[in-house]
Amino acid sequence: MNNSNNYTIILGGGFVGLFTVLHLRQQNYEKPIILIDQNKRFTFKPLLYDLLSQELDESQVCPHYTDLLKDSGVKFVPAEVQEIDLHSRKVKINSTQEYSYENLVLALGNPTGYFGVEGAKENTFAFRDYEDAIALQKHLINCLQQAIQTTDVQKRRHLLTVAIVGAGPSGVELAATLADVVPNWYMEMGGMKEEVRIVIINRGSQILSGDTNKGLQEVAETALRNRNIAVELQMNASATKIEKERLEFERNEHHESLEAATIIWTTGTTTHPLIESLPIPSEKRDKKGRLQVLPTLQLLEFPYVFAGGDCATPMQNSQPPLAQVAYQQGATIANNLKALSMENSPNDSSVSIRGSLMKFGVGEAGANLFNKAIITGEPAHLIRQSRYLTTLPTPVHNFKAVTEWLTDEIFSD
């Protein structure tokens, strides 16, 4: 057992967790810090499509934590957290290893939710982190290789059909990216791009509905039509059952099905099981089970514990599950941990949402800047690139440079 009890432990190295750590290091925080994440790589999720399309490489989109934290003094533990005991201030990573803490940061995000659709978890690809992107890429290439070798037209059609469940931002950006790159990959093998199908299956009647990206709806629809191959939209179609390479859905009370060698699930989230297991009653959570936190991002009854990002929501000031929000909350948590360590009072977090950026295929994007201007096509792609990429330190070895890159270039106005 690790028994140093002045540790600050951060659970989850996503946008909240990594930014908390980087900001703490910038502020010369004196307490020892442990970051625990189940993955060895940080995933810059808004750029995951660029990894899939090979426009960016893995060191840019998914750097290793050990590289990001080199020379920082932060201990990185690559492990899946099994149990959190808020009363005894302990975190267990397996049956024999646990860590005690003085302060804890809950930054575990939210796993995918499947709305109880039979077979969805078992028979679909996810698209949320490095491993997902690499697995999907390998599978697609494999399908294309099989397709080019078969003379059976029906089998080829099946191998070349990609179904994407959900027309939220992830579904739309992924469909647009795949509709550009998959036909190209197939043509490079000698195939005909017209044989590839990218199909979105969406329960509602509109894409990007009820989302912060709603302002980009029309631009996105046009972009989906104008890809290397047009993306097919199956709207008002509720997935009801997913078997291996076969999706069933209901539309206008009719049952329909789609045969597709690749089915990707991009919609829905659920409460993280560890967050669910905490001794916090339902009235201190929102409808989705997220923890309600004070404006300072502390837990009401455990003020030495902070929570932010997708797994928490500040009381009376609910925030959408966005990297923009999570990153800013990471900065607040770091400031407040530093304040507590100096016996000062923590400050309230304030988050500003600075518009939205979406990728609409290779070299194309949409930018909704503060809801005042919508920019499309290549200019939007350049905005997205300059926000996300141009000053990316290569190789990503210097955590101070990384902090500056992420804070100054990506999220600042």
> Cβ of residue 183: shortest distance to ligand FAD, in angstroms?
22
Tokens of 246: 């076969």
For residue 210, give the DSSP letter: T
CA 342/CA 408 separation, integer angstroms: 27
CA 292/CA 313 separation, integer angstroms: 5
Taking CB atoms, the residue at the shortest distance from ligand FAD is: 14
Cβ distance to ligand FAD smaller for residue 35 or 159: 35
Cβ distance to ligand FAD smaller for residue 46 or 119: 46
Q: Name the residues that contact ligand FAD, by CB under 6 A.
A: 12-17, 36-39, 45-46, 48, 80-81, 107-109, 127-128, 170, 274, 309-311, 321-324, 326
CA 105/CA 311 separation, integer angstroms: 11
End-to-end CA gap in the chain = 45
Cβ distance to ligand FAD smaller for residue 160 or 262: 262
Cβ distance to ligand FAD smaller for residue 249 or 265: 265
Looking only at the bridges linking them, the beta strands covering 197-201 and 161-165 are: parallel
Q: Which residues contact 161 (CB under 8 A, 6 or more apart)?
A: 197, 199, 258, 259, 260, 261, 262
How many C-beta atoms surround the C-beta of residue 299 within 10 A?
21
Starting from the edge strand earliest in sequence, which strands make up the sheet with 98-100, in order? 83-85, 90-92, 98-100
> Cβ of residue 119: shortest distance to ligand FAD, in angstroms?
21
Cβ distance to ligand FAD smaller for residue 185 or 265: 265
Cβ distance to ligand FAD smaller for residue 41 or 158: 41
Amino acid present at 390: T
Measured between alpha carbons, how far is residue 274 from residues 17, 81, 84, 235, 280 in Å?
A: 16, 8, 7, 35, 11
> Cβ of residue 78: shortest distance to ligand FAD, in angstroms?
9
Cβ distance to ligand FAD smaller for residue 17 or 346: 17
Cβ distance to ligand FAD smaller for residue 159 or 224: 224
> Cβ of residue 347: shortest distance to ligand FAD, in angstroms?
20
> Cβ of residue 168: shortest distance to ligand FAD, in angstroms?
10
The DSSP-derived string for 37-101 is ESSSB---GGGHHHHHTTSS-HHHHS-BHHHHTTTS-PEEEE----EEETTTTEEESSSS-EEE-
Cβ distance to ligand FAD smaller for residue 46 or 215: 46
Q: DSSP strand E in 252-307: where?
A: 254-259, 262-265, 291-293, 305-307
CA 366/CA 250 separation, integer angstroms: 31
